[in-house]
Amino acid sequence: MSNRVRKAVFPVAGLGTRLLPATKTMPKEMLTIVDRPLIQYAVDEAREAGIEQMIFVTGRGKAALVDYFDMAFELETTMRDAGKSLDALASARTDYGEIVAVRQQEPLGLGHAVWCARHIVGDEPFAVLLPDDLMAGTPGALKQMVDAWEQVGGNMLCTEEVPAEKTKSYGVIAPGRVDGDLTEVLGLVEKPDPQDAPSRLGVIGRYILQPQVMQVLDAGTRGAGGEIQLTDALAKVIGTQPFNALKVNAVRHDCGDKLGFVLANLALALERPDLGPQVREYLASL
């Protein structure tokens, strides 16, 4: 078994109903933050963390996601013939490693989406990145997790403190021993009411997992909302393998929701040297 994290699963088969009507025909992960689609931020973060194989779990209407990572031959030739600079494409033409796509034939939940990648993942640890959680940090969130994971192994979740009234939107951690930014995970509860939440440590969209979780997911057990939940499967392997959660040094933008999406565009535009000053001036004028 590899003791490096070489593979990453990107579950991108969800319906994105919170962003309708934009997501009626456009995959949520292809929506743009400033000048690049959400998926590119996640793939760049994975590359920085040393991931060699990107496994997209896609569904109906998501072909644009996979096409995006091909060289755009006609576009590049036409631009070159017209004497146009290819600089704007440069950020989308880096080496993305190997791209593999598998299908989730029905959106039965995040746990089911991850399980759809089981044959490609095989018998090695793997990362999971949810592209709608855009993590802005240097180094990137997954790189910070991989560095911590190399010390402790097992399963590792990414966590952040969430407001008490928001626990119902997250998987929530029952915490054990705390060592700096690392917290031992003793239990996990999916979407608890505030009074039932074991802490305010919510699970956010980055994971490093052991392949054994795929065997738990084989059972196809339905949980909250009738969906096959990843959190429920992870809860079952606690106690059999080291299990920790890391608070990373990064800002999370929840781009799966309209407000988070708009704020992410603003926050990232403000940080850009080529756009920030004008955006700031316009906001001040409002």
Give residues in contact with ligand UTP (CB under 6 A).
11-18, 28, 57, 104, 107-110, 112-113, 130-132, 256
**What's the min distance (Å) between Cβ of 115 and ligand UTP?**
10
Closest distance between ligand UTP and the C-beta of residue 261, in Å? 11
CA dist 83 and 77 (Å) reads: 10
C-beta closer to ligand UTP: residue 41 or 269: 41
Report CA 103 to chain centroid distance, whole Å: 17
Quick one: 232 exposed, middle or buried, by C-beta within 10 A (0-12, 13-18, 19+)? Answer: buried
* CA angle, residues 148, 154, 158, in degrees to nearest 5: 55
Output the smallest distance, CB 284 to ligand UTP, in A: 33
The Cα 48–Cα 141 span in angstroms is 10
Residue number with CB closer to ligand UTP (113 or 156): 113
CA-CA distance, 203 to 59, in Å (whole number)? 24
- Please say which residue, 114 or 269, places its beta carbon nearer to ligand UTP: 114
Q: Minimum Å distance from CB 234 to ligand UTP? A: 14
Give CA–CA dist 210/155, Å, rounded.
6
* CB-based contact 22:36 (threshold 8 Å): no
Nearer to ligand UTP, 38 or 245 (CB): 38
Q: Supply the minimum distance, in Å, between the C-beta of residue 188 and ligand UTP.
A: 16
CB of 136 vs ligand UTP, minimal distance in Å: 18
Strand partners, 103: 58
On whether the CB atoms of residues 130 and 249 are closer than 8 A, the answer is no
Nearest approach, Cβ of residue 91 and ligand UTP (Å): 22
Q: Which is nearer to ligand UTP, 47 or 133 (CB)?
A: 133
Q: What is the dihedral of CA 121, 127, 131, 132, to 10 degrees?
A: 120
Contact 78, 72 (CB under 8 A): no
When CB distances to ligand UTP are compared, the closest residue is: 14
Nearer to ligand UTP, 54 or 269 (CB): 54
- Closest CB to ligand UTP among residues 105, 240: 105
